[in-house]
Amino acid sequence: MSKKYFLLSLGCSKNTVDSQSMAQLLGEAGYAAVDDARKASVLIVNTCGFIGSAREESVQNLRELAESKKRNQILVAAGCLSQIWGQKLVQEVPGLDGIIGTRRWMDIVEFVEQVRGRRTPAPMYHLPHEATVAGVAVSGADERGVRRVAVQGASAYVKIAEGCSKACTFCTVPRIRGPYRSRRLRSILEEAKQLGDQGVQELILIAQDTTTYGEDLKDGTNLEKLLRVLVRVDGVRWIRMLYSYPRTRYFTDGLLETMAQEKTICPYLDLPIQHIDDEILKRMGRRVKSSEIRNLIHKIKTFLPHISLRTSLIVGFPGESQDQFQALLNFVKEVEFDHLGAFKYSSEEGTPASRLSSQIPGRVKEKRLEKLMNLQKKISLKKCRSLVGEKVEVLVESAGSSQGNGKGRLQTQAPEIDGSVILEGRAHPGDWVEAQIIKAFPYDVLGRIERHL
């Protein structure tokens, strides 16, 4: 039990990458992972602090572990909520032994050993503003040769940058993760080759903003160059990008031509526009206007007529009038996004938006969210129905059983956030099959496996 750890990862895929990086370091130090917290000497929760519901989930999980932990166990809170709450988290969760921030994940082994060896029961903190190794500031990306990936079956999330420098008024990410710092192209390429060698067939590139990749390196590196080297990696069949900031200057002709030419690159883009009204965009601190968003979508569809577009929207932002919300509805109806996620505005402590006047009542935000998602449900069902009768390539993610069918995804579906292909027929996770779509649902489709590819 003395060298066993239990690690619970909460929040987004970027947090999942951090968790797997910590797990690699712990493993190299001789710690063994266990699925049962009762069998571990070290309990770690990689928390999420992005919105209220995520904070509540993090606190609840920490409290449950704190209440059940034994004398010979330590409980460490890592990640986003640790970074922004610090001592407040200890007050919320009596029994916490250590707090380590987002930009110090690479010190997890040393920190765990310090907490285990402390002479007093007082909790320990490791929350500097910037990560340093031997006194030198580093990006928090490539330290100590740790892979910045999270493997899930035949797919892997690959983190290409840390932090964010956009400073949207509603967002806590810059405070949590620090300024935008791109990883070196060579490091990402080496990781991709390793993943291909071990059987990973889909690379999912993630960052707070993938399209800004390389801009801070000042050496000509950019997303187009990264994609052009990744498509040559043996074994990789799909490459997908998430979280692309919707500015035209990032979507150069060269980038879009690369996406159109390379079949390995999924015809899929995630463009979190947040809103379409210019006044709301300005209050949000977004560096884009509605006209640019419209022009960008037109440009993307010109280069990539069969592109699948995903977006994220916020309803009930401070000052959002009924007319402004209606303009958002009209825009969604006009564009018909293939995938759409929407959130009620959440007032986050320390953000400029939390100090804005004209906060929208909760019941109004709830009604607007319901109306928006009902509209998207109809659009999504229309999109799914258009696939009926088509024969499509599917990456199988789960096998069928006597209790139900297996599931897989198309090139136009990202894991966890989009719909799935429910499969009739026998296949194993990681298989590639051709399936004929025989039925449509609002977000998923039913496909009959015709053959293995």
Q: What is the CATH number of the domain that holds 432?
A: 2.40.50.140
Domain assignment of residue 330, given as a range:
147-385
* Closest by CA position to 142, among listed 177, 174, 100, 182: 182
Q: Is 355 exposed, middle or buried (0-12, 13-18, 19+ CB in 10 A)?
A: exposed
User: If you write DSSP's letter for every residue of 347-373 in order, what string do you get?
Assistant: --TTSGGGG-S-PPPHHHHHHHHHHHH
Last residue of a domain, one of 385, 414, 444: 385
For residue 142, tell me if it sits in a domain: no
E-assigned strand segments in 245-325:
268-270, 308-315
Dist CA 421 CA 29 (whole Å): 41
- Residue-wise pLDDT tens digits, 118-169: 888 888 888 865 443 333 333 444 456 788 999 999 999 999 998 898 889 9
Same domain, 354 and 213: yes
3-state secondary structure of 210: helix
Dist CA 264 CA 258 (whole Å): 10
- Residue-wise pLDDT tens digits, 178-195: 889 999 999 999 999 999
Residue-level pLDDT at 143: 57
Same domain, 96 and 33: yes
**Domain containing residue 103: CATH number:** 3.40.50.12160
Same domain, 114 and 175: no
Same domain, 157 and 213: yes
Same domain, 208 and 335: yes
- Residue-wise pLDDT tens digits, 351-379: 999 999 899 999 999 999 999 999 999 99
For residue 45, tell me if it sits in a domain: yes
pTM of the model: 0.89
Same domain, 105 and 226: no
The first and second tokens of residue 424, run together, are 């009739």
pLDDT of 252 higher than 90: yes
3-state secondary structure of 61: helix
pLDDT, average across residues 20-47? 94
Same domain, 268 and 154: yes
**DSSP state letter for 106:** G
Same domain, 400 and 381: no
- Residue-wise pLDDT tens digits, 5-27: 999 999 888 889 999 999 999 99
3-state secondary structure of 182: strand
Residue-level pLDDT at 131: 40
pLDDT of 170 higher than 90: yes
Place of tokens 């409290």: 63
For residue 18, tell me if it sits in a domain: yes
Same domain, 20 and 125: yes
Last residue of a domain, one of 77, 108, 137: 137
Dist CA 436 CA 178 (whole Å): 46
- Residue-wise pLDDT tens digits, 314-328: 999 999 999 999 999
Residues facing residue 394 across a β-bridge: 433
For residue 76, name the pLDDT band (cuts at 50, 70, 90). very high
| Residue pair 159/207 in contact by the 8 Å Cβ criterion | yes
Cα dihedral 244/246/249/253 (nearest 10): 70
Percent of the chain with pLDDT over 70: 95
Number of domains in the chain: 3
Task: Answer positive or negative: Cα dihedral of 427, 432, 435, 439.
Answer: positive
Dist CA 9 CA 15 (whole Å): 7
